[in-house]
Structure 1
Amino acid sequence: MYSLIVTVDAIKPQLSGIGRYTWEIAKRAAALDRVSKISYYDRGKFVNDLDGLRKGIRPPKDPWLVREIRKLANPMMKTRPRFTGAVFHSTNFFLPDRVENGVVTIHDVSVLKFPETHPLDRIKQYERYFDDTLKRTAHVITVSEHARREIVDVLGLHETKVTAIHLGVDEAYRDARRVVEGAEQSNEYFYGLESGSYTLCVSTLEPRKNIDKLLTAYSHLSNEVKSRFPLVLVGAVGWLSDKLEAQIASLKSEGWLRVLGYVPETDLPFLYARARLFAYPSMYEGFGLPVAEAMAAGVPVITSDQSSLPEVAAGAAAIIDPNDIKEFSAVLRRGLEDDVWRRDARARGFDVSDGYLWQRCAERTGEIYQRVHAACRV
Structure 2
Amino acid sequence: MRIAIDLRPALKKGTGVGTYVQNLVENLAQIDQENRYFLFSSSLRDRLPRERLSLPDNFSIKDYRIPVRVLNFLWHRYRFPPVDYLIGAVDITHSPHPLMMPAKKGKRIITIHDLFFWEYPEMTKGEIKRDYLTLAELHAHLADVIIAASENTKKDIIRLLKVPEEKVRVIYDGVAESFRHRLPSQSLAFLRKQFSLDGDYLLFVGTIEPRKNLVNLLRAFQGVVKRGFGGLKLVIVGERGWRTEEFDKELQSPELKGRVVLTGYLGPEELAGLYQAARMLTFPSLGEGFGLPLVEAMASGIPIIASDTSCIPEVVGDAAILVDPYNHKEIEQAICSLLTDTELAEKLTRRGLERSCRFSWKETAKQTLQLYRQIGGGG
TM-score by length of 2: 0.85
Gapped runs of 5+ residues in structure 2? 54-60
Gapped runs of 5+ residues in structure 1? none
- Determine the structure 2 residue equivalent to 1:139: 145
- Count of residues paired in the alignment: 365
1:202–1:233 Cα contact (<8 Å) kept: yes
Q: Secondary structure at the match of 2:338?
A: helix
Distance 1:107 1:10, change over 3 A: same
1:201–1:279 Cα contact (<8 Å) kept: yes
- Determine the structure 2 residue equivalent to 1:52: 50
| C-alpha displacement of 1:293 | 0.4
Instruction: Give the partner amino acid of 2:9.
Output: A
1:196–1:274 Cα contact (<8 Å) kept: no
Distance 1:53 1:10 in 2: 17
Q: Secondary structure at the match of 1:351?
A: helix
Aligned positions of 1:360-375 closer than 5 A = 360-374=363-377
Cα deviation digits, residues 120-155 of structure 1 (max 9, x gap): 532221245334422431100011111111111111
Distance 1:29 1:99, change over 3 A: farther
- Determine the structure 2 residue equivalent to 1:163: 169
| C-alpha displacement of 1:277 | 1.2
2:98–2:140 Cα contact (<8 Å) kept: no
Distance 1:372 1:59, change over 3 A: closer
Distance 2:263 2:75 in 1: 46
| C-alpha displacement of 1:203 | 1.5
- Determine the structure 2 residue equivalent to 1:36: 35
Distance 1:127 1:147, change over 3 A: closer
| C-alpha displacement of 1:33 | 4.6
Cα deviation digits, residues 196-226 of structure 1 (max 9, x gap): 7111111111001111111101111244643
Distance 2:138 2:370 in 1: 25
| C-alpha displacement of 1:187 | 10
1:252–1:258 Cα contact (<8 Å) kept: no
Q: Secondary structure at the match of 1:5?
A: strand
Mapped pair 1:305 → 2:308: yes
- Determine the structure 1 residue equivalent to 2:6: 7
Distance 1:130 1:316, change over 3 A: same
Distance 1:26 1:148, change over 3 A: same
Q: Secondary structure at the match of 1:231?
A: strand
- Determine the structure 2 residue equivalent to 1:61: 65
2:202–2:280 Cα contact (<8 Å) kept: yes
| C-alpha displacement of 1:70 | 5.6
Give the counterpart of 1:355 among 347, 354, 358.
Answer: 358
- Determine the structure 2 residue equivalent to 1:282: 285
1:4–1:88 Cα contact (<8 Å) kept: yes
Give the counterpart of 1:291 among 290, 294, 299.
Answer: 294
- Determine the structure 2 residue equivalent to 1:228: 231
- Determine the structure 2 residue equivalent to 1:153: 159
Greater shift in the superposed pair: 10-19 or 356-365: 10-19
Aligned positions of 1:1-378 closer than 5 A = 2-33=1-32, 35-43=34-42, 51-52=49-50, 61=65, 74=78, 84-98=89-103, 101-175=107-181, 178-179=182-183, 189-194=192-197, 197-223=200-226, 225-250=228-253, 254-374=257-377
Greater shift in the superposed pair: 248-257 or 152-161: 248-257
Instruction: Give the partner amino acid of 1:104.
Output: I
Greater shift in the superposed pair: 246-255 or 362-371: 246-255
1:13–1:54 Cα contact (<8 Å) kept: no
Q: Secondary structure at the match of 2:174?
A: coil
Distance 2:17 2:359 in 1: 16
2:195–2:263 Cα contact (<8 Å) kept: no
Q: Secondary structure at the match of 2:373?
A: helix
1:302–1:317 Cα contact (<8 Å) kept: yes
1:234–1:260 Cα contact (<8 Å) kept: yes
1:99–1:136 Cα contact (<8 Å) kept: no
Q: Secondary structure at the match of 2:8?
A: coil
Distance 2:249 2:229 in 1: 20
**RMSD across aligned positions (CA):** 3.5
Distance 2:261 2:154 in 1: 36
Q: Secondary structure at the match of 1:10?
A: helix
Q: Secondary structure at the match of 1:221?
A: helix
Distance 1:98 1:346, change over 3 A: same
Q: Secondary structure at the match of 1:220?
A: helix
Distance 2:99 2:51 in 1: 20
Instruction: Give the partner amino acid of 2:147.
Output: I
| C-alpha displacement of 1:97 | 2.6
| C-alpha displacement of 1:52 | 3.4
Distance 1:70 1:228, change over 3 A: closer
Distance 2:79 2:227 in 1: 65
1:286–1:308 Cα contact (<8 Å) kept: yes
| C-alpha displacement of 1:266 | 2.2
Q: Secondary structure at the match of 1:129?
A: helix
Distance 2:97 2:79 in 1: 23
2:42–2:66 Cα contact (<8 Å) kept: no
Instruction: Give the partner amino acid of 1:112.
Output: W
Q: Secondary structure at the match of 1:189?
A: helix
Instruction: Give the partner amino acid of 2:65.
Output: K
Cα deviation digits, residues 271-327 of structure 1 (max 9, x gap): 000001110000000001101101111111000001011111111000011222222
TM-score by length of 1: 0.85
Instruction: Give the partner amino acid of 1:309.
Output: I
Greater shift in the superposed pair: 118-127 or 332-341: 118-127
